Structure 1
Amino acid sequence: MNKLYLWGIIITAAMLGATYATVGYQKGGLNGDIVNMLAIAGAVALVIITIFVVIKYVRQMQVDHASGELADESWDNIGEYKNPVPFGWAIMFLGTMIWGMWYFTIGYPVNAFSQIGQYNEEVKEKDAEFEKKYANIKGEQLVNMGESVYLVECVACHGLNADGNNEIDAADLNQRISEKSIKYVINHGSNNKLLGTEMPMPDRNGLFNAETGALITDKEIDEVAKYVAGGLKDTNSAGANVFANVCAACHGPDGKGMAYVAPDIATWNKQLVINVLDNGKQGAIGKMPAMDRLNPKQKEAIAAYVMSLSKGE
């Protein structure tokens, strides 16, 4: 027997055996279900037809010889025969084109029903119901809702204690900003839409000390990072002096930001948290994705919960 046919039989037997073994290990097997039996019959037919077609064309390549009239053109002495397109191939090609046009216009037009479309519509309806039901929730109830959403959506990265697993996986939400994050933003700049719009902060090459007239130095970066991460409390420190001469022009003397200019870096606020959830954030630890699947009320609730952390509630 030709080795090619022998290998075809072996591979067919192996694939059919694997199919049988897979089905056999399922609870109840085919369970007399006509759909299951049709699926297995289709799988068997597909295996046999595939192996048969492969053997046919491999065998044809082994024994057939090209013939016919060569075209006048050649490329590197490689000619092309003027053989017509196989009739069966031409029919299948034209049939596929006709079927495709029918499928997208009549059989299953692009504006027809789809499970994804139905899912999106149902999500919109549920979000509307959710918004209506919880529209007036506030105070401790809003914080409790935020904690529940946090435990579902945020805890994987930020951890149960909201410390980002010691800032290994994500930011520590118990404080507004850490020294590591401050240094990263100063060195690399920022364009995280923390104000909801494109308001980029320059990197260190665009930050000048108003007192010295020189670019901010590594020492000054260390000092101001320590001051800001400490909550802008030690007003007599070297970091406070650097902040006043480098950062206060945009972030304000108290670090609480200026509308359309710079975000609050002293405390969390509702809109700041919502902007991060809306747009994501690139920082020293990595990139946080935008939380598009959350509805506005859920984002507001998370903001309330995050704000409560820094207050020790």
Structure 2
Amino acid sequence: MKSMVIGGIILIIALIAGTYYVAGDAFNSDDYVNSLTFLGAIAIITITVFVALKYVNQIKNDTASGELAEEKWDGIGEYRNPIPTGWALAFIGTMVWLLWYWTIGYPTNGFSQIGQWNEEVNDYNAKFASKWENPSEDTLVSMGQSVFLVQCAPCHGVDAEGINGKAQNLTHRISKESVEYVIKNGSNNLVTAFPAGMPPMMLTEQADIDAVSTYVAGGFKGEQPAAFAVCAGCHGADGKGMAFVGPNIRNYDDALVLAVLTNGKKGHIGSMPSFNDRLNPTQEKALAAYIRSIGE
């Protein structure tokens, strides 16, 4: 037991020294609260170590005693010993403290920094929505540029041409490679706006895939390929899409931009993560307006 006490004292000194080494600068200030905190840390360390030593000593030296209970499990029984007084008081004290904390100590309607922050954010969003309830197209484009530079430029670049080809070039509607990828692999991730999705290989002949990809990527100019009739069933003969059926593949309209922001996008270049709830509706509409203006 003597060696355990000596070891415990050494451990206490080591823990206190470690605490002072990590946070000692705070205790050298004139703020007495820091000094009280350090004294509290010493008390907690000391009590914890000696309580642990007490129970380790009991485990090593105490012997079981009392009346055995009749119930046994696989030949293992237990003694009818009373609940330790300290444990019972601690248990009851914890329940009393819990009820106090729930009702008086920290009521749910009390002050909260998180609650204050949420209220301020909600107030700001309400003012923002009221101020920009009916913005003009020029205002949307200007606002959208600011949103784009913060949220989109890290991948698409400040000029919207994509960085090292690792993100979609937004200066024109879509590339031939992107159209071909979607035809061959389908697109089922814009489920909130277009729940039906698009299965892969709607066109099976490579010649038809090339013709449609070139026509769509070229801005629907020239003679429309006969194979585009398969696409027109969902995207419309003019490629401007159908609500809840197929997206606009002619330009970046509000519905398509919102769908991509909400669900993310996977294409031949890679995957774009979802931006759901990161922008408010006005910012989403403004971003769509700015992206459309880039290619004009």
TM category (shorter chain) comes to: 0.7 to 0.9
Query: In the alignment, is residue 254 of structure 1 matched against residue 238 of structure 2?
Result: yes
1:266-305 to 2 correspondences below 5 Å: 266-277=250-261, 279-284=262-267, 285-286=270-271, 288-305=273-290
Q: 1:36 to 1:222 in 2, by over 3 A?
A: farther
d(CA) in 1 for partners of 2:67, 2:205 = 79
Residues 244-284 of structure 1 deviation map (CA, whole Å, 9 limit, x = unaligned):
2x32100112221012321112210123323433x232424
> Which residue pairs with 2:21 in the alignment?
21
Which of the numbers 170, 177, 195 marks the counterpart of 1:173? Answer: 170
Mapping 1:1-313, distance limit 5 Å: 2-25=2-25, 30-166=28-164, 168=166, 170-178=167-175, 179-180=177-178, 183=181, 187-193=185-191, 195=193, 199-204=195-200, 208=202, 216=204, 224-225=212-213, 227-233=215-221, 235=223, 240-244=225-229, 246-277=230-261, 279-284=262-267, 285-286=270-271, 288-311=273-296
> TM-score, structure 1 length as denominator?
0.78
Task: Write the distance in 1 (CA, Å) between the matches of 2:69 and 2:215.
Answer: 81
Distance in 1 (alpha carbons) for counterparts of 2:207 and 2:8: 73
Which piece of structure 1 moves more, 261-270 or 83-92? 83-92
Kindly indicate whether the alpha-carbon contact (under 8 Å) linking 1:256 and 1:265 is maintained by their aligned counterparts in 2: yes
Per-residue CA distance 1:146-200 (angstroms, 9 max, x = gap): 22222333334444343453453x54433444534762575254142463xx623
Return 5+ residue gaps in structure 2 as ranges: none
Quick check: 1:8–1:51 contact (8 Å CA) kept in 2? yes
Distance in 2, matches of 1:14 and 1:184, equals 64
CA deviation after TM superposition for structure 1 residue 123, in Å: 0.9
CA separation of 1:82 and 1:217: change in aligned 2, threshold 3 A: farther
Contact 1:194 1:272 in 2 (8 A): no
C-alpha distance in structure 2 between counterparts of 1:200 and 1:304, whole Å:
26
Would you say the 8 A contact 2:183–2:209 is kept in 1?
no
Whole-angstrom distance in 2 between the partners of 1:114 and 1:134? 30
Distance in 2 (CA, whole Å) between partners of 1:294 and 1:167 is: 25
Do the aligned residues in 1 keep the contact of 2:189 with 2:263 (CA within 8 Å)? Answer: no
Q: CA–CA distance in 2 between the matches of 1:281 and 1:228?
A: 22
Counterpart of 1:147 in structure 2: which amino acid? Q
1:154 counterpart SS class: helix
Aligned partner of residue 66 in structure 2, secondary structure: coil
Equivalent residue number for residue 213 of structure 1: none
Task: Indicate the percent of aligned positions where both proteins have the same amino acid.
Answer: 46
- 1:13 alignment partner AA: I
Opposite residue 232 of structure 2, the aligned amino acid is A
Q: Is the contact between residue 161 and residue 169 of structure 2 (CA under 8 Å) also seen in structure 1? A: yes
TM-score by length of 2: 0.81
Q: Number of matched residues?
A: 293
Asked if 1 retains the 8 angstrom alpha-carbon contact of 2:186 and 2:199, the reply is yes
Classify the secondary structure of the residue corresponding to 1:109: coil
Residue 140 of structure 1 and its aligned partner are, at CA, apart by 3.6
Which SS does the other structure have where 2:70 is aligned?
A: strand
The gaps in structure 1 that reach 5 residues or longer are: 210-215
Partner of 1:212: none
3-state SS of 1:119 partner: helix
Provide the rounded CA distance (Å) in 2 between the counterparts of 1:98 and 1:136. Answer: 56
For 2:199, the aligned partner's letter is D
Contact 1:23 1:30 in 2 (8 A): no
| CA–CA distance in structure 1, aligned partners of residues 211 and 51 of structure 2 | 74
The amino acid across from 1:96 in the alignment is T
